[in-house]
Amino acid sequence: MKLCIFMPTTILLNKDSFLYKTKHLGTQDKRYKHYLTGFKHFIKQLVEINKITDDPIDCYVADNSGFFDTDSIISIKTEFVILLQSMNIIIITNIGNEYGQFNKGAGILENYYYCKPVLKKYDYIYHFEPRQLLMDNNLIYKSIKNNQTDCIFTTSISNSYKTNFNTGLFMIKTNILFKFMDDMNIPEMINNSESLEKILYNYFVDNDIPYIKYEKMNLVWINNITNKLILH
């Protein structure tokens, strides 16, 4: 079973974007802090995860903001690069972000489209959004140890009382993800203001795709606006 951990990021804020102007993204200084803290927690767990594998797990950070390509924030960028390279985490840059400025989920899918040539060699992908704090490695550890073959998610109830997947951390079969991407209409997703959490859950249900449901992932999510910590 060949697997990887994939971490899509938007480290540098686009202050001309719709989401920034409508105050959905918080401040740049907080964003730097959240990502750095998130990566440090992730690396701590990765060290433990690699102890149960024959080879270290391939890990990717795929940033669509141009953060790693800019020269205007050398000291901050260097801190990120040193941290990621300490665990041989591969940084993918030059990713387009046409859709992410309007819909976060659409931006994540756009990121996956760009990275498809890299990801197609894996059977499974652990998706992790590193602005969160990974408090333990339960999902990844158990799935590797038990040779897990089903996708793994947690769910939540939206404000409209609909069930959604939580997309901060999940495990998915690569061929299922790619088929989902092929069937998706991103402009329609944006026009209808649909979330990735909603449409991915509906896709699994509508197509009778089996998955394992965890009650929680032991993640701490940081609210952009209030800066409050929320456990998932």
Q: Is 223 helix (H, G, I), strand (E, B) or coil?
A: coil
Residues in the chain: 232
pLDDT at 19 over 70: no
pLDDT at 201 over 90: yes
Q: pLDDT tens digits, residue range 129-176? A: 999 999 888 888 888 888 888 999 999 887 767 899 999 999 999 999
Band of residue 217 on the pLDDT scale cut at 50, 70, 90: confident
Q: pLDDT tens digits, residue range 51-100? A: 888 888 999 999 999 999 877 678 889 999 999 999 999 999 989 888 98
Contact 105, 196 (CB under 8 A): yes
Q: How many CA atoms lie within 13 A of 6 on its CB side?
A: 30
How high is the pLDDT of residue 15? Answer: 74
pLDDT above 70 covers a percentage of the chain that reads: 91
Domain that holds residue 24: 3-231
CATH number at residue 191: 3.90.550.10
How high is the pLDDT of residue 90? Answer: 97
pLDDT above 90 covers a percentage of the chain that reads: 59
How high is the pLDDT of residue 203? Answer: 97
How high is the pLDDT of residue 13? Answer: 84
How high is the pLDDT of residue 231? Answer: 53
The structural domain count of the chain equals: 1
How high is the pLDDT of residue 226? Answer: 52
